[in-house]
Chains A and B, each alone.
Chain A
Amino acid sequence: MAEPLLENITVVGASLAGLRAVETLRREGFPGRLTLVGAEPHLPYDRPPLSKELLAGTWEHDQIVLRKAPYAELELELYLGNPAAALDVGKRTVTLATGIEIAWDGLVIATGSQPRLLPNTPPLDGLYTLRTLDDCFGIRTRLDAGARVCVIGAGFIGAEVAAACRSRGLDVTVLEMLEQPMVRGVGSVIGSVLAELHRDQGVDLRCSVAVDAIEGGGKVERVRLVGGAVVECDLVLVAIGAVPTTDWLIGSALTLDDGVVCDSSLLATPLVVAAGDVCRWPNALFGGDLMRIEHWTNAAEQGVFAAHRLLSGDAETPFAPVPFVWSDQYGIKIQCAGRFTGTDRMELVHGALSDHRFVVIFENDGVISGVLAFNQPRQVMLYRRMIAERASFSDALSFAAANQ
């Protein structure tokens, strides 16, 4: 069934997913009123470099602008620095924090996610999370001054910040609650490779530790661990994951459960779609399990897909990609594609773990479910295609044997 002709679309969230959505709407010929709402004062910018080149000090703001073409071409009503505060699906309005009410007949929700915070943490100077450009410049100023850094959490962000600190010759301690970095996703073998990588580069990585308190008189002075050990530091970065930005949707009649729950075509409710970190949807490629993905590629692809879904009314085509993420640490390109449960069978198919140039593939239920590699982008894309085709694990192993 075709949707009624839309005349007035609002996109809430002015980062990658929101930008790709407005670009897609115009490219597909949407002629009506198009409004883009962003919580931050900046035009859409690229976030991955915030924990890499920007923090290392090799790039500036102008190098992470997401859209190079003029914004005038998009004919947007633009509200920046103006977070959405409420949604009324019945009345079809979004209310901004400043009280402005925006009517819509089609809505894209792309409000992303925000860093998870440590409970019971006092508001100390020098205590940071890293999500926004302003966070990044705040941290960078401290690094310029030679801060001793303590990172809580050894996920992608924590690991990249640690790498950026080491590239500047700064002392950095990374505290991880589990026994290895990223063990929950990629298992203990790869976790120990990552741990060794950081230690070789001079990071003081401490695993299986719990933070008791972040202490200081007005400013960060130390992190106290359960058991009594103390890390003296000037800057603490809390990098323990993110939560979807859905507080403004509470009471809106949308289903909220670790994100905006959508159908397989990214529709949350008639005339409302979601895209990016905030979207939780059943991925048909993985048995229709609900997924929420915080990766760059997912935000870019969902922004395009959700906008097309809204305009076309196509309820049949599912959004069913192979999730993909990359990280750059110490000159090593780490790439993962697929789904990782932490308990999948893993096989090394190219290279050697100790060479920092290898490919491992993962098996779940007889099919190849994931690929992870250091410095092997070509191979990752070949296996990513096999994951998309739901190739059997034995076929993947045969392919590997034929491609040595």
Chain B
Amino acid sequence: MLENMLTGLIYTFRWDMLLAVFTGVVGGIVVGVLPGLSTTMGVALLIPITFGMTPAVGLAMLGGMYAASVYSGSISAILLNIPGTSSACATMIDGHPMALKGEAGRAIALATIASSVGGNVSNLCLLFMAPPLALLALKFGALEYFLVAMFGITIIASISEKDLVKGLMSGILGLFVSMIGTHQQTGLQRFTFGIPALYDGINIVVVMIGLYSLPEVIDMLQKQGAEKRVKVRVQGGLFRQMFEYFNYKYIVFRSLVIGVIIGIAPGAGGSLAGFVAYYDAKRTSKHPERFGKGTPEGVLSCETANNAEMGGALIPTLTLGVPGSAVCAVFLGGLMIHGLRPGPQLFTQNPEVIYGFIFSMFLSNLFFVPLGLLTARYGSRLIELPAVILAPTIVTLAVIGTFAINGSIEDTWLMMIMGLVGYILNRCGVPREGLVLGLVLGSMAESELARAILLVHGDVSQLLIQAVTHPIALILVILCLLSLGHAIKTQYIARKAPILPGLEE
């Protein structure tokens, strides 16, 4: 294992890897700073561009985009009171009041160092927890894999803060989309409705680009000019102000733990990690009344956690193929497009790819510090880029990106249909994440279930007995039940509990 790590470490310092990380980080900062462009969308739109690169270089670029956009959403949250990405929602609560008090520089400096530390520590967890977990995954049988997929689907429902029923429906829709095309086991064509373009199934990345780009474009155009933008100037030495961060060791430690754990739980995203860490910091603080009025603890707790979530979320994504968040689901799509399958063999057969990627994430989490500070100081006019220019840019990227994947214009039409679906789901308050997760987990869930049934010679009762007698399976069943039970409890029994605001991605 150590030898593999070393291979990856050396691979990371190739010039093309470094260039890829740098480019990804620059792109990520742009995506993050601009309100209306989400991390998920940035990663999805970048996948077709990485298509022609070697897998390690492509993944490094995607990782740079991911890390930098999660961080830089905080810049617009602090300066404009608009979250650049949804994971910065909690940063806004104290970040903007700080900026109004003339402490914009301090807030940005703290957010930057918090993101970098959060990202790097969680990446360490990824580096050391993923390989053993991948070994554990070797012990998984068909039934366990099926249950893992089920767990992924139940948890998306349970954290879909809007509505349990709608979350589950969205997940099932995703499962159906994954079934379109030729059935692996029997060769039967399902749900193709006689359309030849659907015979080979639907490309995951095409669906994701559609779901996450066109609805965002519409949203952006509808909201333009509607928000009152208060422009704040950044003052003071940004670099120097970063060191204040290390005075808050207790909050930092708690936020790191929260971020990584929420990350590992499949389905939960960065915005949730940010909110949980924020409310935890508030609850344990000696001065909870200062929260919401511009206290540095508020900013650094959620910025630490939302970047710490990233490394955590990648653990189940890379070892089990169960994405830890919507962004990771898109990431998984990128992995598959490069011909890589998540799981134990990924760590043994392609060490330079997987360890190269993990080490490149350390670089991403460092690169965005100077680049982000520069952007905050000199590039904040970027935020004012009008929606009328951004909108056609995104549409064009989505169109050419989906075309580039297979060189077929049918994929572009499919992308637009998915865009329409995404828009309708958004308007009806149905979380799109469910669909994405169902889509990613669909083929795994179905084929593993078929394999499990085959192994017990079609005797389903035998399967149920296995589910309670095999220790790993039993744990997974309990996890599924817990996540569903939790969802039912929070949404139907404790309805009066306040819903966290702005949790959308």
A joins B in a complex: no
B-side residues, CB < 8 A to A, are none
